[in-house]
Structure 1
């Protein structure tokens, strides 16, 4: 498990050194914002879709997919998890 932290830290340091601090922080902020939007989409689906049998688990992977891909990604997740 410790090697995963080391690998993540090295990857982050290499990204910061190669692209610069400000672009990296802008990218990180944009990704975090999309992640929160994805979390909101999944929450709404789970909250109001229970009556119709719609449920998508809210974990980091599904939240990231819903946030980055938007409504098409969320629709794909609903399709995958209701099959």
Structure 2
């Protein structure tokens, strides 16, 4: 099993060295990382100000992706889930 992983990684490195890194992949992954980072910042400030109201949304990758992709409606959805379910 370990040999298949090593051979796969070597083949991937050879492919990237010959073809280069696709620009669309780098651009798309950069945008996703930026949105998740903004989501983490939104959650941090929400938790900072929501503590006085007893609201807390855990900061993890799943919640950061939801808030990063949806924005303020994402925070509202996570808050509603926290109030209604938990």
Report if TM-score (shorter chain) is over 0.5. yes
Which stretches in structure 2 are left out of the alignment for 5+ residues?
13-20
Give the corresponding residue for 1:31. 32
Query: 1:76 & 1:45 partners in 2: Cα distance?
Result: 13
In our comparison, the structure showing a higher alpha carbon Rg is: 2
Which stretches in structure 1 are left out of the alignment for 5+ residues?
1-5, 14-19
Which consecutive aligned stretches of 4+ in structure 1 deviate over 4 angstroms post-superposition? none
Query: 2:55 & 2:82 partners in 1: Cα distance?
Result: 8
**How many residues are aligned here?**
69
Query: 1:65 & 1:29 partners in 2: Cα distance?
Result: 17
Aligned ranges 1:37-48 → 2 under 5 Å: 37-48=38-49
